[in-house]
Amino acid sequence: MTRPLISVKDLTLRFKTDEGLVTAVNNVSFDIAPGEVLGLVGESGSGKSVTAKSLMMLNAENSVYDEGSSITLNVDGKDYDVLSLRRPAEQMIIRGGAISMIFQEPMASFAPAITIGEQMVEQLMIHSSITRSQARDISVEMLTRVGIPEPAERFGQYAFEFSGGMRQRAMIAMALSTKPRLLIADEPTTALDVTIQAQVIDLMKDLVDEFHMSILFITHDLGVIAQTADRVAVMYLGNLVETGTVRQVINTPSHPYTRGLLNSLPKLDDLDAPLTPVPGDIPSPLDRPTGCVFHTRCVESGEIAERCRSEIPGTTIGADDHRVDCHLASAGDQA
Amino acid sequence: MRDILIRANNLSVHFPLRGLGFGERPVVRACEGINIEIEKGSFFGLVGESGSGKTTLGRAMLKAAPISHGEVLYSDGEVNYSLGNIQKHELKDYRKRAQLIFQDPYAALSPRMTVRDIIAEPLEVMGITSSRDETDARVREIAAMCRLNLEHLRRFPHAFSGGQRQRISIARALVSGPKFIVADESVAALDVSIQADVLNLLNKIQQESGITFLFISHDLSVIAHTCDFVAVMYLGQIVESAPTRKLFDETWHPYTRALLSAIPSLDPDVRGNAQKLEGEIPSPINPPPGCRFNTRCPHAQDRCRSEVPEWREMSSGHHVACHFAEDLA
């Protein structure tokens, strides 16, 4: 077994706020292997983005990592303890060096008054010792690679001159130009139309193969996950409630929350299937439920409801490392 | 005989832009030659990409966008209005009969008003109720219908989640007792679990009260589950419309097919079989001649680039605008 590219262990992250410490990520562990696409799914407020930003130490000043949290990045046989990187020079490896990130809203991610090309060149020159004209050549080549027509002209244009889909392509080109090992894609297709989304997903798949990159793909759309991910992690209120291969999680979900998400999706092949919402709303992270975090909305707890209210479920590990945090699974009711 | 609540006949909505001082002023042709009929008590879905003109069409049907050509006829059995040349006092009455639910429940509710006041405002502005007691009774009735309790009515919108806020917006739209509601991307900003809840609520309201809905969405799977009739829009024109079942059983237009296949399948074993659409939607300032879809259509031929396709009925109630619909099916 190859060593994981990045290994997150017992990550707990809290924010200091006026109302006290808010737990955004609670005891989260996962690995991403080289070349693997890990999908991270969950509702708004579940802590997906905060988890991803921890990998690049991009969380705000008021964030506190609990002792015992660790993120280990393994590049070319060398280990980096991500959470201990404090100086900007050290952080280069996680910020654009081995890890790049693309965001949901590409318009907000580009500087409006600097040309797209200039922004691409700037970050390339920071991360590698090349000349400006080499950086320019690489940038134009990357723009070509992501399917932007007339890349040489586009290079000199501003973000507002690009359409939404083109901006997201340019964003991908920029993120990949430094040849990162891990790409963090935070809802990269959410703001796009389905037809453009299909194009961008295709492009990302091609690029994973070509560059042998890993991707942490964050989305709330299980359809997008089914189409892109190798493995899936389902997040709820800062906790990972289920992880497994994409087939395990989508076809045989073990956690009631994963099942709830799947049941609330409109399915095209069965128009008569009723839409079953997960009842209620995600609780405030200031007011985390005791016991299982999902017990306030769980419809399956039934007889063991009392146990779910009081006792935090452990992780049950099934076949092929299919992990689920649920009392039902540990009681053997569900495989 | 079908009972049509609202219909658009050859409706066009144009927005003139500021010119350069010479030559012709450019015009955004947001909607062009639209013909739709919305049956009373139906849940009519309108689907298309961003920039296709869905919202503009919805607004024109509420007389909230200028009607440049053609007409919109509203007839609910009590009144008949032609929105193109509606009188001021008639428009006031029409506002009670036709309402809008917005996309973003965070932007649509005033943060300074309590939920009770938000819901009551249309009643007061339109002079529907005459006393405070009457208003309160009506607000409570509607709030209960949208599963908001009395405790909620005293609070301000910031205390609510996205799903609850959208229920407040729905209550506000319902309070004047409308016959026709335009729901513009009303679930797009919500999480899937909440989205299902709001869709179920809208369906329940429609079944119980017989309100006619124009449901605008970019998501065909949502439309498929809620609407009984679908119109597909592309660059300001309707390219295909049919009862929902018919459209999904037999899709005639290549654009509809592309939209359908672009929806990511939930089956991890069915990957990458989507029929990819190249490029992006062109600008409505200079729409392509002939069939407007010709620049992206994988089957486009010379005829598509010169001749505007006719709006044809393929089977009962199923219309399409494509020269080669039969050959491609």
Chain A CB contacts of B199 below 8 Å: 266, 275
> What's the whole-number mean pLDDT along residues B278-291?
87
Q: What CA–CA distance (Å, rounded) separates B315 from B247?
A: 11
The nearest CA of chain A is from the CA of B134 a distance in Å of 31
> What's the whole-number mean pLDDT along residues A184-199?
86
Beta partners for A13? Answer: A25, A65
Chain B CB contacts of A168 below 8 Å: none
Residue B44 φ then ψ, to 5°: -95, 120
Let me know: does A329 contact A254? Beta carbons within 8 Å. Answer: yes
Percent of chain A with pLDDT over 90: 57
Q: CB distance from A224 to chain B under 8 Å?
A: yes
Burial call B268-303: b when 16+ CB within 10 Å, e when fewer: beeeeebeebeebbbebeebbebbbbbbbbeebeee
pLDDT in tens, B143-194: 999 988 888 899 999 988 888 999 999 999 999 999 999 999 888 888 888 8
Q: What CA–CA distance (Å, rounded) separates A14 from A35?
A: 30
The yes-or-no verdict on residue B47 having pLDDT over 50 is yes
The pLDDT of residue B26 is: 85
Chain A CB contacts of B280 below 8 Å: 163, 165-166, 196
> What's the whole-number mean pLDDT along residues A10-36?
92
> What's the whole-number mean pLDDT along residues B207-214?
93
Let me know: does B217 contact B199? Beta carbons within 8 Å. Answer: no
Which of B54, B192, B239 to mutate against chain A (most A CBs within 10 Å)?
B192
By Cβ distance, the residue of A199, A221, A260 closest to B193 is A260
Closest CA to B206 of B170, B242, B165, B232: B170
Chain B CB contacts of A223 below 8 Å: 263-266
Between A and B, how many residue pairs show a Cβ–Cβ distance under 8 A?
123
pLDDT in tens, A132-152: 999 999 999 999 988 888 899
> What's the whole-number mean pLDDT along residues B294-310?
92
**Angle CA(B273)–CA(B276)–CA(B279) in degrees, nearest 5?**
165
Q: What CA–CA distance (Å, rounded) separates A222 from B195?
A: 14
Q: CB distance from A3 to chain B under 8 Å?
A: no
Residue B289's pLDDT band (cuts 50, 70, 90): very high
Q: What CA–CA distance (Å, rounded) separates A93 from A96?
A: 7
CB–CB of B196 and A275 under 8 A? yes
Spatial CB neighbours of A164, under 8 Å, sequence gap ≥ 6:
A106, A107, A191, A192, A193, A196, B50
Let me know: does B116 contact B80? Beta carbons within 8 Å. Answer: no
> What's the whole-number mean pLDDT along residues B194-207?
91
CB–CB of A199 and B277 under 8 A? yes
> What's the whole-number mean pLDDT along residues A284-307?
90
Chain B CB contacts of A271 below 8 Å: 224-225, 244-245, 248
Q: What CA–CA distance (Å, rounded) separates B43 from B206?
A: 8
Query: Greater confidence, A280 or A289?
Result: A289
The nearest CA of chain A is from the CA of B54 a distance in Å of 14
Q: What CA–CA distance (Å, rounded) separates B326 from B253?
A: 9
DSSP string, B124-179: HHTT--SSHHHHHHHHHHHHHHTT--HHHHTS-GGGS-HHHHHHHHHHHHHTT--S
Identify the weakest region by mean pLDDT among B18-22, B112-116, B224-228, B301-305: B18-22
- Provide the 10 A C-beta neighbour count for residue A55: 21
The nearest CA of chain A is from the CA of B165 a distance in Å of 12
Which of B52, B54, B103, B191 to mutate against chain A (most A CBs within 10 Å)?
B191
Percent of chain B with pLDDT over 90: 66
Closest CA to B229 of B238, A225, B170, B188: B238
Which of B193, B195, B270, B271 to mutate against chain A (most A CBs within 10 Å)?
B193
Please give the C-alpha separations between residue A282 and each of A39, A293, B132, B195, in angstroms, as whole numbers.
Answer: 20, 10, 36, 14
The nearest CA of chain A is from the CA of B266 a distance in Å of 5
By Cβ distance, the residue of A198, A250, A274 closest to B274 is A198
Which of A41, A193, A263 to mutate against chain B (most B CBs within 10 Å)?
A193
The pLDDT of residue B273 is: 63
By Cβ distance, the residue of A195, A246, A281 closest to B259 is A195
CB–CB of A223 and B199 under 8 A? no
- Supply the Cα-derived Rg of chain B in whole angstroms: 21
Closest CA to B254 of B278, B282, B219, B222: B278
Q: Are strands A63-65 and A37-41 parallel, antiparallel or unpaired?
A: unpaired
Please give the C-alpha separations between residue B322 and each of A183, B238, B314, in angstroms, as whole numbers.
Answer: 42, 11, 11
> What's the whole-number mean pLDDT along residues B87-105?
92
The yes-or-no verdict on residue A333 having pLDDT over 90 is no
Please give the C-alpha separations between residue B160 and each of A175, A211, B262, in angstroms, as whole numbers.
Answer: 37, 45, 34
The yes-or-no verdict on residue B69 having pLDDT over 70 is yes
CB–CB of B199 and A275 under 8 A? yes
pLDDT in tens, A215-259: 999 998 898 999 999 999 999 999 999 999 999 999 999 999 999
Three-state DSSP at B305 gives helix
Q: What CA–CA distance (Å, rounded) separates B239 from B268?
A: 31
Q: What CA–CA distance (Å, rounded) separates A79 from A133?
A: 33
The yes-or-no verdict on residue A274 having pLDDT over 90 is no
Q: CB distance from A191 to chain B under 8 Å?
A: no
Most confident option among A174-188, A232-246, A267-281, B315-329: A232-246
Enumerate chain B positions whose Cβ falls within 8 A of a Cβ in A.
49-50, 161-164, 191-197, 199-200, 218-222, 224-225, 244-245, 248, 258-269, 271-272, 274, 276-278, 280-281
Alpha helices in chain A (DSSP H): 48-55, 88-91, 106-109, 116-127, 132-145, 151-155, 164-176, 194-211, 222-228, 246-251, 256-263, 305-310, 327-330
The yes-or-no verdict on residue A299 having pLDDT over 50 is yes
Beta partners for B11? Answer: B34
pLDDT in tens, A53-103: 999 999 888 999 999 999 999 998 899 999 998 888 888 889 888 999 998
The pLDDT of residue A6 is: 95
Whole-number average pLDDT of chain B? 90
CB–CB of B262 and A198 under 8 A? yes
The nearest CA of chain A is from the CA of B56 a distance in Å of 18
Cβ within 8 Å of B, A 13-52 = 43-44
Query: Greater confidence, A115 or B104?
Result: A115
pLDDT in tens, A300-327: 988 899 999 999 999 999 988 999 999 9
pLDDT in tens, A56-68: 999 888 999 999 9
Query: Greater confidence, B270 or A174?
Result: A174
DSSP string, B62-122: TT-S---EEEEEEE-SS-EEEGGG--HHHHHHHHHHEEEE-S-TTTSS-TTS-HHHHHHHH
The pLDDT of residue B190 is: 85
Nearest CA in chain B to A297: B193
Q: What CA–CA distance (Å, rounded) separates B270 from B168?
A: 39
Token pair of B276 as six digits: 């990819």
Q: What CA–CA distance (Å, rounded) separates A47 from A25?
A: 6
The nearest CA of chain A is from the CA of B190 a distance in Å of 9
CB–CB of B161 and A196 under 8 A? no
The nearest CA of chain B is from the CA of A36 a distance in Å of 15
Residue B113's pLDDT band (cuts 50, 70, 90): very high
